[in-house]
Amino acid sequence: MVYVFIFLALFVLELLYFRVADRLNIIDKPNERSSHTTVTLRGGGIIFYIAAAIYFILSGFQYPWFFLGLTMMTVISFLDDVFTLSNKLRLLVHFTSVLLMAYQLELFALPWYFLLIGFVFAVGVINAYNFMDGINGITACYSLAVGGLLMLVNQEISFIDQNLLIYVMLGVLVFTFFNFRLKAKCFAGDVGSVAIAYILLFALGALILKTGNIIYILFLVVYGIDAVWTIVQRLLRKENIFQAHRSHLYQYLGNEAGVNKLLVSFIYGVLQFAIGCLVIVFAEKEISEQIIFTIVLLIGLTTFYLICKTYVIRKFVQNS
């Protein structure tokens, strides 16, 4: 019953945010990166932070440094959604927030290179998660997949308070109700994509530190393949990778190829969940088997991705 009450409370709070966003004109206008053609409310993903805040209060203020970092990340992202802040200020807050997460995870007690690797990885994932938020439902489906995988593993290993994951996933479900539509009621905005990336990264970091097994990074491999190869391809074309664009595979599929955008989002989520289940299985096997699995998976996904993207570009982009 507690979870039902939390879900209903989050639902009401999301509706209240819509009224505020509508009054303050917090909207998402179509641009060169957009896959939508109509003005839509922005920042609906703030419900992810609200869900985490409810957990923080009800849990007796668990994970305070993490929550402080999440708050900083959420505030600066929300302000950026509304006013468009300077990149330097935004990156400074992002870096500080990641350091707070690292402190909560006690990475400072480990050799310095663990902190450096974790820092670079976290900043990269947060930005990639934000870049991948480009069509209806993709942030919702992918976050439910990754969050579901973390909850499954947490039942067996107990690396984090399960209620944190449950509350946040209830927030994602609320957002999904309004976003997983052909004409979305709202978009996550930077505040949503950045917040959920930060939360999932914290849980993933706790899992890797608890088990000492880095294979769980593959819980993010589908986004990773699309984000990394898109950056590589844009660099090869000598494009500014910091400018808005619509050159991810999911964008080509949903826009140029005309595939139903909700189907594309659903496939991304289901594919990641299926791969994640295999990761959970191989996490129990010998390290040699894990390495072979990882290599085969990365080569297979990359090959499929490049073939699929090349086909879509040649058939639907170059001929348009």
* Structure-token pair, residue 247: 């050159």
- Higher-confidence residue of 40 and 274: namely 274
Strand ranges inside the chain, DSSP E:
27-28, 40-41
* Structure-token pair, residue 95: 């870096």
Q: Where are the domains of the chain?
A: 2-28+41-317
- Give the pLDDT band of residue 35 (cuts 50, 70, 90): low
Phi, psi of 186 (to 5 degrees): -155, 165
Model pTM?
0.94
Tokens 């494009």 locate to: 239
| pLDDT digit string, tens, across residues 138-178 | 999 999 999 999 999 999 999 999 999 999 999 999 999 99
Q: What is the structure's pLDDT at 36?
A: 46
Residue type, 59: S
d(CA 90, CA 196): 17
User: What are the percentages of helix, strand and coil residues in the chain, rounded to 5?
Assistant: 75, 0, 25
Task: For residue 130, say whether it is annotated as part of any ligand binding site.
Answer: yes
Q: What is the structure's pLDDT at 24?
A: 84
Cα angle: 118, vertex 148, 136; to 5 degrees: 90
- Give the pLDDT band of residue 31 (cuts 50, 70, 90): low
User: Any residues with CB less than 8 A from the CB of 77 and at least 6 apart, and which?
Assistant: 90, 189, 190, 191, 194, 195
Q: What is the structure's pLDDT at 114?
A: 83
Task: For residue 22, say whether it is annotated as part of any ligand binding site.
Answer: no
d(CA 46, CA 63): 19
Which region among 9-18, 102-111, 300-309 has the lowest average model confidence (pLDDT)? 102-111
CA dihedral 216, 222, 224, 228 (to 10 degrees): 150
